[in-house]
Homo-oligomer: A and B are copies of this chain.
Amino acid sequence: MPRWESDAQGRLERAALELFETQGFERTSVAQIARAAGLAERSFYRYFPDKREVLFTGNELEAHLVAQVEAVGPEVTPFEALLTALGTADEVFRSREFLLRRVRVIAASPALAERDLIKLADIAGALARALERRGVESGEARFVIDVAISISRRATSRWLADPDATFSELIAQAAAELREAVAPRAPVR
Contacts and interface: CB of A to CB of B under 8 A. Distances in A.
A142 interface: yes
A11 interface: no
Interface in A99-158: 110, 113-115, 117-118, 121, 139-140, 142-144, 146-147, 149-151, 153-154, 157-158
Contacts of A188: 75
A146 to B, nearest CB: 4
Contact of A143 (B75, B114, B174, B184): B174
Contacts of A117: 114, 117-118, 121
A134 to B, nearest CB: 14
Instruction: Name the residue among A153, A177, A178, A186 with the largest chain B CB count within 10 angstroms.
Output: A178
A158 B142 CA distance: 12
Contact of A121 (B113, B139, B146): B113
Contacts of A115: 114
A41 to B, nearest CB: 22
A150 B113 CA distance: 19
Interface of A: 75, 77-79, 110, 113-115, 117-118, 121, 139-140, 142-144, 146-147, 149-151, 153-154, 157-158, 174-175, 177-179, 181-184, 186, 188
Q: 3 nearest interchain CB pairs? A: A146-B150, A117-B117, A114-B114
18 contacts: A79-B181, A110-B118, A113-B118, A114-B114, A114-B117, A117-B117, A117-B121, A139-B154, A142-B153, A143-B151, A143-B181, A147-B147, A147-B150, A147-B178, A147-B181, A150-B150, A179-B182, A179-B183
